Chains A and B, each alone.
Chain A
Amino acid sequence: MKILIITEQRDGKWHPASMEAVTAAQQIGAQGAELMGVVIGKGVGALADDLAGFQLKEVLAVEHDLLENYTPDGFTHALRQVIAKTAPDFVVMPHTYQARDFAPKLAAALGRGMIGDCIGHRFENGKHIFVRQMFQGKTVVDVVFAGDAPWIATFQAGAFRGDMAAKGSAKAPVTSFAVELQTEQIRMKPGELFREAKQAVDLTQAPILVSVGRGIKAPENIPLAERLAHALDGEMAASRPICDEGWLPMDRQIGSSGQTVAPKLYLALGISGAIQHVVGMKGSRTIVAINKDRNAPIFEVADYGIVGDLFEIVPALTAELEKSKSG
């Protein structure tokens, strides 16, 4: 069995989920497999060398001028050539925004399946079972590939631990893989990357976060949560809908499109716990969730759960904290 790991980098720096994909592939290949790491871009020699430190059979440095800036056409054309040459059984990637942008295209171009955003993998009764979420995390499904290889699987951030990726006893050989690409094959004209506003608050450094979701209902209720944050000496955070509505600034957003945090205490107020939010906070040491819906997925990751009306519980909690502070 052969497994191709497609890593992700930008400007010579790893996307941290790349190492999580290495761990995932090592698990899929636990029964014995040839693992090949792929670094794609331009000027990726140092990263390919770094990747070669992991327990892999080989590392392929896929480089071309037209791969310097990511485009779905460029990456798909290049990876099709890599797949044609190496004939892998599985193609494993981290489920990043970039993978979401080209992995389905690659699958369709090959006429093969892709199981995306997996949270786990099991080898059971001779079958590779990929686990993913449905209904915003309220249910889970076991999915298996059918038909011919290659099979493409992407893994959700945090599904595997990057620091668990096994290192090799010796460095894996790095091979430069030449791809054929023409300018006219690339239909997208990519522009420079930019940030909207400079990040005023770095929530990743805050030890305590009070985070609000749709359950807060209206902007005039935000101060209720702010008083709690103040009583805890914590910072305010929010799920995406709150920032989209402009009730809190964008730099307070936690989740796949915002910041990823791991404070010692995370209070989720009226946050249902959609996957996109949970990936940004599930590493928190202690999670408290207050939600009126007992079945909200946020309770899956909470250490302490309170099913009830946040408009009654939050003021009581604030008062209790203020009392214990002064007392």
Chain B
Amino acid sequence: MKIGVCVKQVPAKDAPLSIAESGQWIRESDIGFETNEPDSYALEEALRLKEKHGGEVVAVSMGPERVKQTIKEALAKGADRGIHVLDDKFYLLDPLAAARSLAAAMQGENFDLILTGLQSDDQGFGQTGVLLAELLGRPHATIIMQIDASEGRLKLKRELEAGWFQWVELPLPAVLTIQSGCNKPRYATLKGIMAAKKKEIVVIPRGSLAVADTVTEHVERIYVPQKSKKTEFITGTPQEIAVKLVEKLKHEARVL
């Protein structure tokens, strides 16, 4: 099975974020980046399918030079090769334009299966997988907990809301978005890291792709949210905090 996995690089979880002067993105110079956590579950699912059924796993990422690190991590974990859609200003793309670019970069690969994480922890569109499916003419299923593949068909466990699940079947080729937490993503081994150095990463400048640059939506402004609720911060030693909080919960909020 030939599997493409979309992996994105996002600011590290604890990175202090500040808005760039352009008002269109964050200041990247001050912060660290890491692989989008939801995508690590998609990668793990892809690697497990390859171990079971054979084939190839290709890690695909879009963004500036820095995203190579995320592709390299995927290669170190066991992906066979990488595709880097290079674009320094990927953050100006709307969801459809981003997906069109990724679709164009993956079109010729004819993947049997494309996996993505549920959403990215930066822009959080949560659309890319579904858009890719439509653009590539493939069926899709989202929020997948379990994949059983046999004879060109997939049996999938989908998560629905409020504790409900559903088994669905799809023919291959298909696109799936993977639910976070459905597996335990592996760590790269030293051997894996060494092997990754020899693996190929093809760089495709986004501008070289034949993609219609139709804009469907654009960001006017990015800002730190104004609080709708006034938070009262309680300070002091742990002991003092405990006394103050119990007092407030009893007599101010009157919930105890």
With an 8 A cutoff between CB atoms, is A3 at the interface? Answer: no
With an 8 A cutoff between CB atoms, is B194 at the interface? Answer: no
**Cβ 8 A contact of A303, one of B168, B219, B220, B231:** B231
As a 0/1 sequence over residues 116 to 130 of chain A, the CB contacts with chain B under 8 angstroms (1 = contact) are: 110000000000010
Flag the segment in B46-54, B71-79, B137-145 that touches A.
B137-145
Beta-carbon contact of B126 and A116 below 8 Å = yes
Identify the closest chain B residue to A319 (Cβ). Answer: B242
**Cβ 8 A contact of A300, one of B95, B169, B181, B225:** B225
With an 8 A cutoff between CB atoms, is B159 at the interface? Answer: yes
Instruction: With both chains docked as a complex, state the minimum distance between the C-beta of A128 and any C-beta of chain B, in angstroms.
Output: 11
Flag the segment in A42-50, A173-181, A304-312 that touches B.
A304-312
CA distance A144 to B214 in the complex (A): 14
CA distance A308 to B133 in the complex (A): 45
Which residues of chain B (51-77) have a CB below 8 Å from chain A? none
Beta-carbon contact of B159 and A257 below 8 Å = yes
**Cβ 8 A contact of B253, one of A115, A191, A303:** A303
Which residues of chain A (294-322) have a CB below 8 Å from chain B? 295, 299-309, 312-313, 315-317, 319-321
Identify the closest chain A residue to B248 (Cβ). Answer: A304
Interface size class of B (residues with CB under 8 A): 35 or more
In the bound complex, residues from chain B placing their C-beta under 8 Å from that of A305 are: 231-234
With an 8 A cutoff between CB atoms, is B171 at the interface? Answer: yes
**Cβ 8 A contact of A320, one of B143, B181, B217, B243:** B243
- Which one of A135, A140, A306 has the highest number of Cβ atoms from chain B below 10 Å of its Cβ? A135
CA distance A300 to B214 in the complex (A): 36
Instruction: With both chains docked as a complex, state the minimum distance between the C-beta of A312 and any C-beta of chain B, in angstroms.
Output: 4
With an 8 A cutoff between CB atoms, is A9 at the interface? Answer: no
Identify the closest chain B residue to A240 (Cβ). Answer: B181
In the bound complex, residues from chain A placing their C-beta under 8 Å from that of B228 are: 300
In the bound complex, residues from chain A placing their C-beta under 8 Å from that of B140 are: 72, 105
A113-B95, A316-B242 are contacts. A101–B130 as well, Cβ < 8 Å? yes
Instruction: With both chains docked as a complex, state the minimum distance between the C-beta of A48 and any C-beta of chain B, in angstroms.
Output: 23
With an 8 A cutoff between CB atoms, is B245 at the interface? Answer: yes
A304-B245, A316-B238 are contacts. A295–B133 as well, Cβ < 8 Å? no
Interface size class of A (residues with CB under 8 A): 35 or more
Beta-carbon contact of B214 and A306 below 8 Å = no
Beta-carbon contact of A146 and B215 below 8 Å = yes
With an 8 A cutoff between CB atoms, is B227 at the interface? Answer: yes
Beta-carbon contact of B214 and A104 below 8 Å = no
Beta-carbon contact of B143 and A97 below 8 Å = yes
CA distance A251 to B127 in the complex (A): 28
In the bound complex, residues from chain A placing their C-beta under 8 Å from that of B217 are: 113-115, 143-146, 151
CA distance A143 to B94 in the complex (A): 10
Beta-carbon contact of A300 and B229 below 8 Å = yes
Beta-carbon contact of B218 and A188 below 8 Å = no
Instruction: With both chains docked as a complex, state the minimum distance between the C-beta of B159 and any C-beta of chain A, in angstroms.
Output: 6
CA distance A117 to B224 in the complex (A): 17
In the bound complex, residues from chain A placing their C-beta under 8 Å from that of B224 are: 138-140
Instruction: With both chains docked as a complex, state the minimum distance between the C-beta of B54 and any C-beta of chain A, in angstroms.
Output: 25
With an 8 A cutoff between CB atoms, is A190 at the interface? Answer: yes
As a 0/1 sequence over residues 218 to 256 of chain B, the CB contacts with chain A under 8 angstroms (1 = contact) are: 111111110111011111001101110110111001011
In the bound complex, residues from chain B placing their C-beta under 8 Å from that of A317 are: 238, 241-242, 245-246
Beta-carbon contact of B26 and A306 below 8 Å = no
Beta-carbon contact of A143 and B219 below 8 Å = yes
With an 8 A cutoff between CB atoms, is A12 at the interface? Answer: no
CA distance A304 to B248 in the complex (A): 9
Beta-carbon contact of B225 and A139 below 8 Å = yes
Which residues of chain B (1-33) have a CB below 8 Å from chain A? 11, 13-14, 16-17, 19, 26
Identify the closest chain A residue to B225 (Cβ). Answer: A140
A256-B161, A257-B161 are contacts. A320–B242 as well, Cβ < 8 Å? yes
Identify the closest chain B residue to A208 (Cβ). Answer: B255
**Cβ 8 A contact of B165, one of A195, A240, A324:** A195
In the bound complex, residues from chain A placing their C-beta under 8 Å from that of B219 are: 141-143
Instruction: With both chains docked as a complex, state the minimum distance between the C-beta of B162 and any C-beta of chain A, in angstroms.
Output: 7
With an 8 A cutoff between CB atoms, is A68 at the interface? Answer: no
In the bound complex, residues from chain A placing their C-beta under 8 Å from that of B168 are: 188-191
With an 8 A cutoff between CB atoms, is A232 at the interface? Answer: yes
In the bound complex, residues from chain B placing their C-beta under 8 Å from that of A138 are: 17, 224
With an 8 A cutoff between CB atoms, is A288 at the interface? Answer: yes
With an 8 A cutoff between CB atoms, is A64 at the interface? Answer: no
15 A-B pairs with CB atoms under 8 Å apart are A101-B130, A117-B126, A139-B224, A139-B225, A142-B220, A187-B170, A187-B171, A191-B166, A194-B165, A240-B181, A303-B231, A304-B245, A305-B232, A308-B241, A317-B245
Residues of A in contact with B (beta carbons under 8 Å apart)? 72-73, 96-98, 100-105, 107-109, 111-117, 129, 132-147, 151, 187-196, 199, 208, 232, 240-241, 243-244, 250-251, 256-260, 264-265, 272, 275, 285-286, 288-289, 293, 295, 299-309, 312-313, 315-317, 319-321, 324
Q: A104-B95, A208-B255 are in contact. List 7 more A-B contacts (CB 8 A).
A: A111-B216, A136-B124, A265-B249, A304-B233, A306-B234, A317-B241, A317-B242
